[in-house]
């Protein structure tokens, strides 16, 4: 007998959902994961080149970034509650998200993200 191209419906089973890599529009300068080239952030969201501080990596212009649970850490600028962020595509830890700053002078960082410079590369439209 001939083999059918599709298995019968009762044999089709989903075992695990697949993570699809999303891409930022070609018209924007972007930062990508240096390990797998997944797009991470639009250049317009960058606040500080020196530290890799970004406004919001979870909005519609930022893709492929996951966020772990928050924990308290003592950083160079004092005590903060931060959550590690990672590339959804290759699972590399990229940096962290500032959840809470305990010092008033650091409150401006809350809700913002650090991508360590060693984990990102410039892509798309840089000259």
Structural domains of the chain in order of their starting residue, each with its CATH number:
30-123 (2.170.150)
Q: What is the pLDDT of residue 26?
A: 62
Signed CA dihedral, 75, 80, 83, 85: sign only: negative
Half-sphere exposure in the Cβ direction for 122 (13 Å, CA): 8
Q: Say if residue 31's pLDDT is above 80.
A: yes
Strands 113-115 and 120-123: unpaired
Q: What is the pLDDT of residue 13?
A: 36
Give me the mean pLDDT over the 2-24 stretch: 47
Residue 33 · residue 93 · CB < 8 Å: no
Residue 21 CB coordination number (10 Å): 15
Contacts of 46 (CB under 8 A, 6+ apart): 31, 52, 53, 54, 55
Q: What is the pLDDT of residue 7?
A: 43
Separation between Cα atoms, residue 102 and residue 118, nearest integer Å = 27
In sequence order, what are the beta bridge partners of 73?
80
Residue whose C-alpha is closest to residue 24's, from 14, 36, 37? 37
Torsion angles phi and psi, residue 56, rounded to 5: -145, 115
pTM: 0.74
pLDDT digits (tens, 9 = 90+) for 54-102: 887 665 455 788 999 999 999 999 999 999 999 999 999 999 999 999 9
């Amino acid at each position: 007998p001939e083999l059918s191209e599709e298995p019968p419906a009762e044999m089709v089973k989903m075992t695990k959902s697949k993570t699809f890599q999303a891409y930022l529009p070609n018209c924007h300068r972007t930062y990508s994961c240096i390990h797998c080239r997944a797009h991470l952030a639009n250049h317009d969201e960058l606040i500080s080149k020196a530290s890799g501080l970004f406004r919001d990596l979870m909005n519609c212009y930022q893709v492929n970034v996951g966020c772990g649970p928050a924990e308290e850490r003592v950083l160079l600028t004092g005590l903060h509650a931060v959550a590690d962020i990672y590339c959804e595509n290759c699972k590399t830890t990229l940096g962290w998200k500032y959840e809470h700053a305990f010092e008033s002078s650091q409150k401006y960082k809350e809700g913002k993200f650090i991508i360590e410079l060693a984990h990102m590369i410039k892509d798309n439209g840089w000259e």
